[in-house]
Amino acid sequence: MRKAILLLIVLLGGINQAWSACTASLSNTAPSLGASVTSFVLNSTEQGVTTNLILQCDSALSLLTNDYVTLTLTGASNIVTNRAAMKRTDDLAVTDLIPLKLCGANNCPANSEVTSTNTGYTWNSSMLLTLLGSKRYTLPLYLRTVTGQTVSAGPYQAILNLNVYYSICAVGTILTGCSNLQSGNLPLTLTVNMTVTNDCTAISAPNLNFGSAPLAKNFPTLSGSVGVTCTKGYAYTVGISNGSNPSGNVRQMASGTNRLSYEIYKGTTTSRWGAVGAERWASAASSAVSTDGLLRTYNFTAQVLPGQNTPPGGTYSDTLLVDLAF
Give me the mean pLDDT over the 216-240 stretch.
Answer: 98
Check: CB of residue 309 under 8 Å from CB of residue 315. Answer: no
Give me the mean pLDDT over the 196-216 stretch.
Answer: 98
Predicted confidence at residue 58, as pLDDT, reads: 73
pLDDT digits (tens, 9 = 90+) for 95-142: 999 999 999 999 999 899 999 999 999 998 878 865 445 678 899 999
The secondary structure of 12-35, three-state, reads HHHHHCCCCCCEEEECCCCCECCC
Domains in the chain, ordered, with CATH? 20-197 (2.60.40.2040), 200-325 (2.60.40.1090)
pTM, two decimals, is 0.86
Give me the mean pLDDT over the 63-79 stretch.
Answer: 89
Distance CA 97, CA 224 (A): 35
Give how far Cα 116 sits from Cα of 120, 121, 162, Å. Answer: 8, 12, 10
Residue 323 three-state SS? strand
Distance CA 15, CA 283 (A): 77
DSSP string, 226-268: EEEEE-BT---EEEE---SS-BTTBEEEEETTEEEEEEEEETT
- The sign of the dihedral angle between the CA atoms of 33, 39, 41, 45 is positive
What amino acid is encoded at 138 in this protein?
T
Within 91-135, residue ranges assigned H as helices are 125-128
247 φ, ψ (degrees, to nearest 5): -120, 100
pLDDT digits (tens, 9 = 90+) for 168-190: 887 665 556 676 778 899 999 99
Whether 295 has a pLDDT exceeding 90, the answer reads yes
Predicted confidence at residue 9, as pLDDT, reads: 32
Q: Mean pLDDT across the chain, nearest whole number?
A: 90
Residue 109 three-state SS? coil
pLDDT digits (tens, 9 = 90+) for 231-284: 999 999 999 999 999 999 999 999 999 999 999 999 999 999 999 999 999 999
Predicted confidence at residue 270, as pLDDT, reads: 97
Percent of the chain beyond pLDDT 90? 80
